[in-house]
Amino acid sequence: MADNEPKSLPTEKARQKTLNALQILNTDPEPAFDQLAQLAAHITEAPYAAISFTGPNEQWCKAEYGWTLGAIPRDQSPCAISVERGAPLIVENAQKHEDIRHLAPVTEDGIRFYAGFPFSANNQTVGALCVAGPESQSLDDSQIELLEGLATQASLHLENRYQINQLKEENAELLIQELGAEMAEEKYRSIFDHVQEGIFQTTADGEFISANPMLARIYGFDSPEELISQMKDVSRELYVDPHRREEFIKIMTERDVIHNFVSQIKKNDGSLIWIAENVRAVRNKDGQLLYYEGTVVDITEKEETEKALRDSELLYHSLVETIPQNIVRKNREGVFIFANQQFCQTVGKPLKDILGKTDYDLSPKHLADKYRRDDMRVMETGEIYDTTEIHTGTGSGEENIYIETVKTPLLDSQGQINGIQCMFWDVTERHQMEEQLAYERDLLNALLDNVPDRIYIKDTESRFIKGSAALAKRLGLKTPSDIVGKNDYDFHPDALAKSFHEDEQRVILTGKPIINKVEQQTDTDGRDIWASVTKVPFTNRSGIATGVIGISRDITALKLAERETARARDMALEAAQMKAQFLAVMSHEIRTPMNGIIGMIDLLLDSDLSEEQQEYAGTVRTSADALLEILNDILDLSKIEAGRLELEKAEFSLRQVIEEAVELHALRAEANHIELHCHIPPALDGQYRGDAGRLRQILLNLISNAVKFTEEGEVQTAVQIIDETNDDVKLQFTVSDTGIGIS
């Protein structure tokens, strides 16, 4: 007979006898057993749990969590095997277990994980507490220990039940009251006081009749007595949402039992927790409600974990649906099992037309082949695939498209790869920006490598970030990279480096540049050099100064040329002064005899001379005047060159100066048959302040030229007012003639 067939041995008979005495087969659910099944599922995080008893031909479920079994043939039940062996049966993968892989729960219901723990009554193994699930799973030592403890609690409960039923059958009411009740109370009290769940009895109005210590601790009281005495209205004092109490009463009225009723409650200290209740209505033989009894479990940690998980999933889905990246998930066969909204927009299809499809349904075959190869590599190696793919433009003028793609393996609860997640997005713009940045960087490097000026960039602490080749050469370095991270104190005397640092910090703090500041420096050979330095703040996109850009131009040759120019200018000025002094002396020396000659000529002209002699003497007098004019002009030019010509400011008659200048040329004009005219407005009569001699000299020169180059006609001298204020007047002098003019 096989191990999993019903036994026809004394042990089997004893088991069935005990089950009959327990009167438990085919009875209604009981909260005590329901709670044990729920706790077992909670401990292992398995989706299914049950407490079942092994009858003659079937395995009958007293309590179920997560599934509905009722009764199944005994020869198809893994629990029957555990009961018959009297030992736990723990199977991580039922398909690979010799004893149960052929059973209906495995072959038909898809059970993969199973763990059964037998319990007993009257020293007979009568049933099993089990947990199960559709995926492979293992249990650690602590989980196994807790499940064994739950099976022990079931055994204690059944033992108590068995003893009471035995006493009833023997009709020993006195013994039941004295001995049986004492034993029952002792065993029940042991469970009642030490079980890790709250147990209670309440009236229909919610007033506590009894409570165990664990319930008091869950609700925040020091003892059951304190809980019972202080909490009188559970709907107001216990439930955060009073409507939950109304819902509780409604369900109990309709069904007399409630499973896993989850609510948020207020503890005695005001803090909030989550609980799960399993309650049944206890009625007398006439159907009248006596009280409610049930269990309470603190599921705050579980609720918070589940809420955190829900929030995390909600956040994940919110992010997935709002980010601009395309996200899809595929199973091992390459079938789409998820796609976000961005992907739907990219392929131009609604989600319902994507799920269940493959890349071959959405993309050209050559691309689908590539995608499938990449997916298989990720699933085979478990390594992340991260690359930038280039999609070449096919039409004329079409540019390449760059796609960033990241593929990661998807894992099931056992850590096995069961698909891939793919995220991709268009990085063409970023690629173009990177190319542009690289181009600009190359331009900058070309500039820094070839420009003769010394160019550098420093951070806010005046440390070099980048420098030109000319700067590296100036500082005696091999390459520009050797300057990075250093400062001016590494290359210059402290006083000079301090000056540089202070200038740069002032530029950074104030935002005001330094333009073409001339600095005297010392080169690597110790020679004095000069530089024209410009420093401007370097700001980021937010306008915050992050450093300084400097340009230093060697102007040593220019400074030396300026020195030579200044020296030449000084020499020329000195020569001009010497020339002026010489001419002044010569003019004085010549003027003295000339004055004597002119005086003698004037005496001669006043004497009795013949007409011919008079003409000759007049000619000599005119020539002498002309020579004096030449001497005056030479002397003035020498003074101008030497920078020593000064204008006088003295009162004079404007009319007198003009008329004298005209009269001096009257004889020559008359000799040439030229008419001289002079026009002075009456408004200009009076005294003026200025240099009358220089004005007379200018007019003499102009009138002389006019008379000289006019063969016939007239020469007119005129003056008019151009502008006038209280203190000053601007005049315009005009000498016009009918001659050839001045070219």
* pLDDT for 463 beyond 80: yes
Q: Residue 119 — very low, low, confident or very high, per pLDDT cuts 50/70/90?
A: very high
Whole-number pLDDT of residue 173? 47
Q: Residue 118 — very low, low, confident or very high, per pLDDT cuts 50/70/90?
A: very high
Which among 289-303, 445-459, 562-576 has the top mean pLDDT? 289-303
Cα(202)–Cα(208) distance, integer angstroms = 4
pLDDT tens per residue, range 92-117:
999 989 989 999 899 988 899 999 99
- Radius of gyration from C-alpha coordinates of the chain: 60
Cα(34)–Cα(63) distance, integer angstroms = 5
In a domain, 313, yes or no: no
Whole-number pLDDT of residue 242? 87
Whole-number pLDDT of residue 742? 56
- 520 shares its domain with 653: no
pLDDT tens per residue, range 56-77:
889 999 888 888 888 889 999 9
* pLDDT for 190 beyond 60: no
Cα(687)–Cα(683) distance, integer angstroms = 11
* pLDDT for 677 beyond 80: yes
What DSSP element (H or E) covers 331? strand 326-331
Q: Choose one of 615, 630, 646: the last residue of a domain.
A: 646
pLDDT tens per residue, range 254-300:
988 998 899 999 999 999 999 999 999 988 888 888 899 989 999 99
Token output for 491: 């290359």
Of residues 635 and 307, more confidence is placed in: 307
In a domain, 316, yes or no: no
Residues 1 and 264: beta-carbon distance below 8 Å: no
Average pLDDT (588-615) is: 80
Cα(402)–Cα(425) distance, integer angstroms = 9
- 46 shares its domain with 143: yes
Phi, psi of 451 (to 5 degrees): -70, 140
The residues, ordered by sequence, that sit 6+ positions from 318 with a Cβ below 8 Å of its Cβ are: none
In a domain, 392, yes or no: yes
* pLDDT for 123 beyond 80: yes
Whole-number pLDDT of residue 393? 57
pLDDT tens per residue, range 730-739:
999 999 998 7
Q: Which domain holds residue 657?
A: 648-743
First vs last Cα of the chain: how many Å apart?
146
What CATH number is associated with residue 472? 3.30.450.20
Residues 673 and 695: beta-carbon distance below 8 Å: no
- 232 shares its domain with 90: no
Q: What is the residue-wise DSSP string for 589-644? A: HHHHHHHHHHHHHHHHHHS---HHHHHHHHHHHHHHHHHHHHHHHHHHHHHHHHT-
Whole-number pLDDT of residue 448? 78
What CATH number is associated with residue 620? 1.10.287.130
- 457 shares its domain with 578: no
pTM: 0.38
Residue burial 29-53, b: 16+ Cβ < 10 Å; e: rest: bbbbbbbbbbbbbbbbebebbbbbb
Q: What is the residue-wise DSSP string for 65-118? A: ESS---EEEGGG-HHHHHHHHTS-EEES-GGG-TTTTTSHHHHTT---EEEEEE
Whole-number pLDDT of residue 639? 67
Whole-number pLDDT of residue 671? 82
| CA nearest to 29, candidates 259, 275, 287 | 259
Whole-number pLDDT of residue 645? 65
Of residues 212 and 446, more confidence is placed in: 212
Whole-number pLDDT of residue 167? 65
In a domain, 365, yes or no: yes
Phi, psi of 149 (to 5 degrees): -65, -40
In a domain, 312, yes or no: no
104-110: long-range contacts, CB 8 A cutoff, minimum separation 24: 104/72, 104/73, 104/76, 105/72, 105/76, 105/77, 105/78, 105/132, 110/134
Domain count, the chain: 6
How far is it between the farthest Cα atoms of the chain? 197
Q: Which range among 38-42, 187-191, 433-437 shows the weakest confidence by mean pLDDT?
A: 187-191
* pLDDT for 6 beyond 50: no
Q: Is 91 exposed, middle or buried (0-12, 13-18, 19+ CB in 10 A)?
A: buried
- 23 shares its domain with 148: yes
* pLDDT for 174 beyond 70: no
- 280 shares its domain with 373: no
What CATH number is associated with residue 701? 3.30.565.10
* pLDDT for 165 beyond 80: no
Q: Choose one of 612, 646, 680: the last residue of a domain.
A: 646
Whole-number pLDDT of residue 38? 86
Whole-number pLDDT of residue 701? 84
In a domain, 602, yes or no: yes
- 492 shares its domain with 511: yes
pLDDT tens per residue, range 679-730:
999 988 888 898 887 888 888 888 888 888 888 889 999 999 999 888 888 9
Whole-number pLDDT of residue 657? 87
Cα(53)–Cα(21) distance, integer angstroms = 13
DSSP strand pairing (257-266 vs 272-283):
antiparallel
| Average of per-residue pLDDT values in the chain | 85
Whole-number pLDDT of residue 684? 87
Cα(393)–Cα(400) distance, integer angstroms = 5
3-state SS assignment for residue 170 = coil
Residues 6 and 110: beta-carbon distance below 8 Å: no
- 543 shares its domain with 583: no
In a domain, 263, yes or no: yes
Whole-number pLDDT of residue 5? 43
* C-alpha separations of 103 from 76, 81, 95 in Å: 5, 11, 10
Q: Is 508 exposed, middle or buried (0-12, 13-18, 19+ CB in 10 A)?
A: buried
Residue burial 173-212, b: 16+ Cβ < 10 Å; e: rest: eeebeeebeebbeebbeebbeebebbbbebeeebebeebb
Per DSSP, 541 falls in state T
In a domain, 447, yes or no: yes
Whole-number pLDDT of residue 8? 44
Whole-number pLDDT of residue 179? 43
- 243 shares its domain with 292: yes
Per DSSP, 325 falls in state S
Cα(576)–Cα(574) distance, integer angstroms = 5
Q: Residue 395 — very low, low, confident or very high, per pLDDT cuts 50/70/90?
A: low
- 217 shares its domain with 296: yes
In percent, the amount of the chain with pLDDT more than 70 equals 91
Cα(311)–Cα(711) distance, integer angstroms = 115
Token output for 65: 């969590």
- 602 shares its domain with 682: no
Whole-number pLDDT of residue 398? 66
Q: Choose one of 259, 274, 306: the last residue of a domain.
A: 306
Of residues 180 and 442, more confidence is placed in: 442
Residues 319 and 423: beta-carbon distance below 8 Å: no
* pLDDT for 563 beyond 90: no
Cα(722)–Cα(725) distance, integer angstroms = 11
DSSP strand pairing (674-679 vs 713-724):
parallel
| CA nearest to 211, candidates 108, 123, 296 | 296
Whole-number pLDDT of residue 79? 93
Cα(649)–Cα(655) distance, integer angstroms = 17
Average pLDDT (422-451) is: 85
* pLDDT for 597 beyond 70: yes
Average pLDDT (10-22) is: 85
What CATH number is associated with residue 151? 3.30.450.40
Whole-number pLDDT of residue 417? 93
Whole-number pLDDT of residue 372? 95
- 593 shares its domain with 515: no
Q: Residue 396 — very low, low, confident or very high, per pLDDT cuts 50/70/90?
A: low
Q: Is 120 exposed, middle or buried (0-12, 13-18, 19+ CB in 10 A)?
A: buried
